[in-house]
Structure formats: C-alpha cells, structure tokens
Structure 1
Amino acid sequence: MKKILLIVVVAILSGCSPAPDVSEKVVWYPKPKEVQSFQLQDQYGEVLSNQDFAGKWNLLFLGYTSCPDVCPMTLLKLTHVYQSMKDKSKLQVWFVSVDPHRDSKERRQAYIRHFDPTFKAVSAEHSILFPFVRDLGLIYAINQEQQEEYYVDHSASVALINPKGQLEAIFKPSHEVGTVPTIDEKQLLKDLNSIIN
C-alpha cells in the first residue's frame, strides 16, 4: 500500500499523469513530441501552421482524392468519430493530401465536402510536405507520377496532435488478409476519449 501511495505522490509532484487505458492499436507517447514548424495550404487557399493545432485535439490522416479505397473509407470513419464526439469544439480533423500535383485546393474542397466541410483538407509541395509527414512518424511514396494515372502509397494510420501542438499518439489500422487496412472507428473513439479525458 505504501509503495502505491509513493508512486502516486511522485507522479503528482513530477507533473505526470497516468497512462491512458488504450488498446494495442495505439502508440501513445508519455512525453508528447514537438511538431516542427510547417506551413500548409487548406482547401480555401489559407495558409495553416502549428498555431492552427492550438486549443484543440487534432486527428491527421494522409491520403489523396484519387485514392480508390483506404482514403474514402478512413475519412468516412473519421466523420463518424467526429459526429460521435460529445464536444465537437474540442476536435479538428485534417485530411493531408500527399498528391499535390493533382490535388488542387478546389479539388480538395470538393472532395472533403462529401465527408464534412469543416474538416481541413491541406497540402503543399513535396519539399514541405515530406518533412512534415515524416515528423509525424508517417510516410508516403508516389509511384510513377509522370503518368496521368498513378497510385500513392501512404500510411493508413491516424496521428493525434494535442492542444499544445505536440504529437500525442498514433492510431494504427487493422490489417487483415484480403481487406483494406483501415482504422476501427469504435475503438479509435474509445481510445481517443481515454486520452482526452
């Protein structure tokens, strides 16, 4: 009993909070990681930066508007997660297009409108985009961009940025043989609430 009490006192004095009760699908950082400075353009042509993370929890997902499966499925699930949040003012969803060659701001605006027009649909040139994505612990690769039709390989995970603009967690997708890797929206919502609360 004394040992447990001592651990609690040390945690309080050091400013630590107990680890959230999350599933094995979450990579949670006890010490959230600072996100390097960035500038991305949203679907309205506005420039967004680290300051746009402030004061809210932010879910970021990589994708592209020509994606045939993972992107629309994941965005639909993130729409359900967002709609299920009791206090939507605490949460922002970012769709980060990793195909700036085809995904103009007009195309991103039309695409995100199918899910939720309040979501941010951002992108930038690869010289800006790639370091930003790598900083989040995610990755993407373009296959034969010189052709008109091409696929973009990208992480199917969802990054969580806290209201201080730090990388707090990564929600990993489920990988099952014969299925597209996507997040489990019910599990993500449960894990998200455990972290936020």
Structure 2
Amino acid sequence: MKKLLLIVSIFILFGCGPAPDVSEKVVWYPKPKAVKTFELKDQYGEVVTNQDFTDKWNLLFLGYTSCPDVCPMTLLKLTHVYQSVENKDSLQVWFISVDPERDTEEKRLAYIRHFDPDFKAVSAEHSVLFPFVRDLGLIYAINQEQTKEYYVDHSASVALINPKGQLEAIFKPTHAAGAVPTIDDKLLLADLEKIIN
C-alpha cells in the first residue's frame, strides 16, 4: 500500500499521468509545455498572440502558399478534421506561413479561403517567426541563395496547443517510399478526440 501511495505521489509531483491511448504517430506531453510570448499577424493584418489560443484546442501547421504538395495536402486533411469534430467552436486551425517575404496578408487570405475561411493564416518576420516555430518543437529553413522560385523546407508535423495555451502534443506525418509525407487525417482525428476527452 505504501509503495502504491509513493508511486501516485511521484506521478502527481511531476505532473505525470496515464497517457491517453493514442497511436504511435503522436508525441504526447504528460506535462504540457508553456508557449513563450509571441506576436504574429493574421490574414487580416490583426495581431495574434498567446491569448488567441485560450479556450480552444489549436492545431498548428507550418507551410507556405507556393508549396507544391505537402501544404495543400495537409490543409485539405486538416479541413476534413475540422469539419468532422462535433463542436467546431472548440477547435481552431492555424496555417503558419514560414515564407513571410512572399506570403503577404492578401496572399494568405486568398490561399486559406480555398480550405476554410475560419482558419487563421499567420506569419511574421523571421526574427519573430523562427523562435516561435522552434518553441513549438518544429523547424523550417530557407536557402538564401535560391531564386524567386525557392522552396522552403519545413516540418510536416502538426502541433496541438491546449485551451490553456500550452503545447500538448505533436502529430507526426506518415512517411512512405515515393510519397509526400503528410498526416493521416482519420488517425489524427481519432487521436485528437482521445486527447481532448
């Protein structure tokens, strides 16, 4: 009995608990990580901050409007996830453009409307954007020597921020030989529901 109480006390002390029964495609944090203070701008030129995470579950995906494959495919899948949740008011999807040079507010607005006008399409200068992305456990890189038609390398994972504004989980993409790495929307939806509930 004393041994059981000691184990329970350790779990409580370190903020640990039983992980939800999620798939191997999820990195779930038993003690969610605080997201550092940030200021980005959405597709309407409005400033968005940590406060915009509050009271909703948030799915964040990195990309850019000139992306030929991963971004449109992932956003289509996130649109399916968003349309499939029981209460859309409890979920928010963020498209984070990691190509601020080309992705103006107007371009982000036109782009995100192809998927769902309720989604946020945010960006900022690299000096603000890179630390924010790194804080989420994601990454991107631009080759400065490329032409105007350059590609941006970026994570294909999706970050989950909880209603307290903390990093709760990362949904990893599926990698298959000869295929573009993208999330499995049905699996993400099932895992999301387990974590939320």
- Let me know the Cα RMSD of the aligned residues: 2.0
- Superposed, 1:22-61 pairs within 5 Å as 22-61=22-61
Q: How far apart in 1 are the matches of 2:92 and 2:2?
A: 40
- CA shift for structure 1 position 169: 0.3
Q: Is 2:16–2:31's contact at 8 Å kept on the other side of the alignment?
A: no
Q: Matched residue of 2:81: which SS?
A: helix
Q: Matched residue of 1:45: which SS?
A: coil
Q: Matched residue of 1:58: which SS?
A: strand
Which residue in 2 is equivalent to 1:92? 92
Q: How far apart in 2 are the matches of 1:97 and 1:13?
A: 38
TM-score normalised by the chain length of structure 1: 0.93
- CA shift for structure 1 position 113: 0.0
Which one-letter code corresponds to 2:41 in the other structure?
Answer: Q
Q: Is 2:141–2:153's contact at 8 Å kept on the other side of the alignment?
A: yes
Task: Extract unaligned runs of 5+ from structure 1.
Answer: none
Which residue in 2 is equivalent to 1:169? 169
Check 1:8–1:55 CA distance in 2 against 1; reply closer, same or farther (3 A cut): farther
Q: Is 1:59–1:158's contact at 8 Å kept on the other side of the alignment?
A: yes
Which residue in 2 is equivalent to 1:183? 183
Check 1:21–1:37 CA distance in 2 against 1; reply closer, same or farther (3 A cut): same
- CA shift for structure 1 position 148: 1.3
Q: Percent identity?
A: 78
Work out the number of aligned pairs and report it: 196
Q: Is 1:40–1:48's contact at 8 Å kept on the other side of the alignment?
A: yes
Q: How far apart in 2 are the matches of 1:145 and 1:47?
A: 31
